[in-house]
Structure 1
C-alpha cells in the first residue's frame, strides 16, 4: 500500500509498505493512544514506539529492527489521513487521536478485565481506504 505524508505534494510519500505490517502497527498505535492517553488525549510518541518494540520484538512481520521505523512511518501516515494529530511545537513529540475524548467504556473498573475500549470496538476489523501500490 502507498504511505501518505501530509508534508509531501499530493500527500503521497512515494513509497509502499506491506499491508499486513501496516494494519498490525496501525492497530497498535491507535490502541496504545487509547490505553495511555491522559485527560487531554496526548501520548508521547516515544512511549508508543517503546510499547511496540516490547510487543513486536520477535514478530515475523517486523524483522530486523523494523519496529521503530514501521511505527514512525505509520504514525506519519495516520497523521496525513487525519486519524491522529501531532502536538505543534512539542518536544518530545506528542500525538493523539483527532477526536480525543476518552470513551466511557475505556474507563477501567476495579475487578473487571473484560471491557473493551469503544475505540477498539470501533476500529476492530476495519482499515482505512487505502490506495494499492501498482
Structure 2
C-alpha cells in the first residue's frame, strides 16, 4: 500500500500546480468581471446570460475553495509516511526533504482555497447586485 500511496504524490503536486494556474486565471477573469463584464450584461439586459455566467463562475471558485485544501492535505500526508520511516532509520536528510514537501504542498493548497473562497464570495455579491439591479429595472 505504501507504494500505491507514494505514486500519488507526483499527480497531487501536478494537480496543485494546475490549480495555482487556474486560480490566477480566475483572478484575472474576476478583475474583468468587476471592471465591466457584469455591467455590460446588465446594460444589455441579458438576464439569462448573466445568471448562467454567474453560476459557472461561482462554481469554479467553489471548486478551487474545496479541492485546493484537500490536495494540499494529501500532499502533506503522503511524504510524511516515508519521512517518519527514514527518521526511524536515522536518515534525517530524507525526513527534512519530506517535511519540506509537506509544508510546501500545505501552503499551496491553502492559498488556492483562500483565493477560491474570496473569489466565490466576491462573485456572489457582484452577481446578486447585478440581478437585483435588473429586477428593479424590470419593475
Superposition TM-score, scaled by structure 2 size: 0.25
Q: Which has the larger radius of gyration?
A: 2
More helix by share: 2
More strand by share: 1
Using CA pairs below 8 Å that are at least 6 residues apart, which structure has the higher relative contact order? 2
Superposition TM-score, scaled by structure 1 size: 0.25
